Amino acid sequence: MDTDPAPAGTAGTRNVRPRLAVIGCDTLSAEGADAYFRSSRPVVLLDPDHAGEADVVLVLTRRVTDELLIRMEELRRTAANPAMRFVMVADAVDEPRLVRAVGCGLVALLPRASTTFSRVTEAVLRSAQGKADLPDTAVRALVEEIGSIQQNVLAPRNLTPSGLSTREVDILRLLAEGFDLAEIAAKLHYSERTIKSTIHGVLTRLSLRNRVHAVAYAFRRGLL
């Protein structure tokens, strides 16, 4: 990976520099990244002992192994920052490991052979802003995996990707349309007690304040 200088005014520069930790799976990569990011760069480089405080973790590797994924998952699980994200530079990753990596916070995947440190810096800054940088092949793999989960896991249990059941979504949709509980019960052929119990379950499970909050939650997730 080349070490060309970061361009002036890199897009995504923030007033508060994101905290960066580096996982280098070989000494050369780790030392190269350390030398690069300890110079005048738009990030704060953390020592390895403080990786759990990072906003973004940069993973430099050739092969994505199960051992590496376990390390990433453990770091995310114990992180002080619940919004920690991962940027990975790797030669290749198979689809099951890619999906697993995204599940633990991977938002950017860059090809090792053609990626420079300035490109890595850009990806780190974008990821700190909540933006993703995944190649088309990775996106397609994720879409196919999500579709498979929806068809083979969620649908047979009458669940949606949001974690709400189809019955819960139907109730929230009717609430949003202005129907009262008795009318909803009649339309869905349930007892009014069942409707009340279902709504209470949604509020409790998702820590929502009231029915209006539940409807707003469903709207934000595109369910209504």
Taking only the tens of pLDDT, the chain with its 224 residues reads 654 444 434 444 445 889 999 999 888 888 899 899 988 678 999 998 899 999 999 999 999 999 999 999 999 989 988 889 999 999 888 888 888 888 888 999 999 988 899 999 999 999 999 888 887 766 666 656 666 655 665 566 665 656 688 889 899 999 999 999 999 999 999 999 999 999 999 999 888 999 999 998 888 777 77
Which residues does residue 23 pair with via DSSP β-bridges, in sequence order? 59
Domains in the chain: ranges and CATH? 19-146 (3.40.50.2300), 159-219 (1.10.10.10)
pLDDT at 149: 58
Residues 6+ apart with CB under 8 A from 210: 203
Task: Rounding to the nearest 10 degrees, give the CA dihedral for residues 80, 83, 84, 89.
Answer: 180
Length, in residues, of the chain: 224
Q: Could you give the count of Cα atoms lying within 13 Å of 97 in the half-sphere of its Cβ?
A: 15
What Å distances lie between residue 143 and 30, 88, 147, 158, CA to CA? 32, 20, 6, 20
Quick one: pLDDT at residue 38? 87
Residue 40 main-chain phi, psi, to 5 deg: -70, 95
C-alpha to C-alpha distance for 21 and 63, rounded to whole angstroms: 19
DSSP tag of 153? I
Q: Which amino acid is at 38?
A: R
Side-chain-facing half-sphere of 41: CA atoms under 13 Å: 26
Chain centroid offset of residue 22 CA: 19
Q: Residue 36 in contact with residue 117, Cβ under 8 Å?
A: yes
CA–CA distance, 127 with 43 (Å, rounded to integer): 12
Tokens (6 digits) for 198 = 């279902």
pLDDT for the residue numbered 61: 94
Q: Any idea what DSSP says for residue 151?
A: I
Q: By the 8 A CB rule, do 21 and 57 touch? A: yes
What does the alpha-carbon distance between residue 187 and residue 190 come to, in Å, rounded to a whole number?
8
pLDDT score, position 3: 47
Check: CB of residue 48 under 8 Å from CB of residue 74: no
Beta carbons within 8 Å of 50's beta carbon, 6+ residues apart: 21
Please give the biggest Cα pair distance in the chain: 68
pTM of the model: 0.60
